[in-house]
Amino acid sequence: MKALVYTQAKEVIFRDETDPVVEQGEVLVRIEAVGICGSDLHAFLGHDERRIGPLILGHEGSGTVVGGEMDGQKVVINPLVTCGACPDCFSGRSNLCANREIISMAPRQGAFAQRVSIPERNLVAVPEGMDMTRAALAEPIATAWHAVSVAAQKTHRPLAECRALVFGGGAVGLAAALSLHAQGCKNILLAETNELRRQTVDKEGICTSFDPINNNIVDENSVDVVVDCVGGNPTRKAASAAIRPGGVIVHVGLMDALDGLDVRKITLQEITFCGTYTYTMKDFQAAVNAMNSGALGDLSWYEERPLSEGAQAFDDLLNNRSSSAKIVLRP
């Protein structure tokens, strides 16, 4: 099969690879669309010690089951493979499973390929009529949906009464704003430094976007909920300043781990800082349902390209030349 292979830092090559081996309990999925994630870029730059080349990256896939009882079924792939048998899996927190694996990280190859093998229990059916490229947005949307759901659990007021601030206008940031809106939040700010991305965000008409460096419109102690989809030192600093006493900061992004939090304020003002990682199958299903219902808008904030031109897409993303919140590749 053809695949886009990460070979070494700053190099991906579109080439022939051997077909995946289908293990017991797994099915083969012919990939129709697969998004490029910030973590793919991070790995591409050689910054992810968990992703060593040669490796097929990509974990945001939609496609069609090939063979077996589900042959022909349109699906999105939950790329997080969990054991299903540990206390975390049993308690509904499968994303914390100590044995979790994710496709695009050894030992599992990713979805920048024509085919991928995945446990059958990781498939979510695509509703009748949903476009398969849009369906590939389910993964970043599930990530955001989960983060917003955690915020809704932790905050002391209903989201409908909260003022929320999202950091990042990429797919997860935009999906967080859309998820906040879908879950009832009426007052949403979104900080994004890239003007092209702000324009994409603004088209949704559900939040106020701004440039946090040159035009910070957020007063100190003024927001109830922060969803930080960047996760860097500057966003943690800005989140610490913006959050009101008793507020909740949900930390989704993994840009860096260099300090930034105002621990003194967190203590004196009883602020909750909570990490979130991926999603459970429940989140994934909820994301697909919300996508299908129209609650998250028309989902037109992506751009489609052939998988064979993946290297150019990586380059464009790294140089801020794309206005889309997401580039989706088609094998």
Query: Does 107 sit behind a cis peptide bond, omega within 30 degrees of 0 on the bond before it?
Result: yes
**In the chain, how many H helices and how many E strands?**
10, 18
Please identify, among the stretches 113-121, 180-188, 192-200, 252-260, the one whose residues bind a copy of itself according to the rule CB under 8 A.
Answer: 252-260
| Cα distance between residue 148 and residue 11, in whole Å | 35
- Full DSSP string of 256-287: -------HHHHHHTT-EEEE--S--HHHHHHH
Note whether 147 and 64 are within 8 A (CB).
Answer: no
Binding residues for a copy of itself restricted to 75-94, rule: CB under 8 A: 88, 91, 93
Instruction: Lay out the site mask for a copy of itself across 226-245 (x = CB under 8 A, - = otherwise).
Output: -----x----x--------x
For 30, the 3-state DSSP assignment is: strand
Nearer to a copy of itself, 83 or 263 (CB): 263
Count of residues interacting with a copy of itself (CB under 8 A): 38
Instruction: Lay out the site mask for a copy of itself across 155-194 (x = CB under 8 A, - = otherwise).
Output: -xx-------------------------------------
Report the nearest approach of a copy of itself to the CB of residue 98 (Å): 7
Nearer to a copy of itself, 91 or 214 (CB): 91
| Residue 138 Cα to chain centre, angstroms | 8
Nearer to a copy of itself, 100 or 181 (CB): 100
The residue within the footprint of a copy of itself, chosen from 257, 295, 304, 320 (CB under 8 A), is 257
Applying CB under 8 A, does 277 fall inside the site for a copy of itself? Answer: yes
- Full DSSP string of 31-45: EEEEEPPHHHHHHHT
Q: At what angle do helices 195-202 and 171-182 cross, to 10 degrees?
A: 30
Name the site residues for a copy of itself (rule: CB under 8 A). Answer: 88, 91, 93, 95-96, 98, 150, 154, 156-157, 231, 236, 245-246, 251-254, 257, 259-277
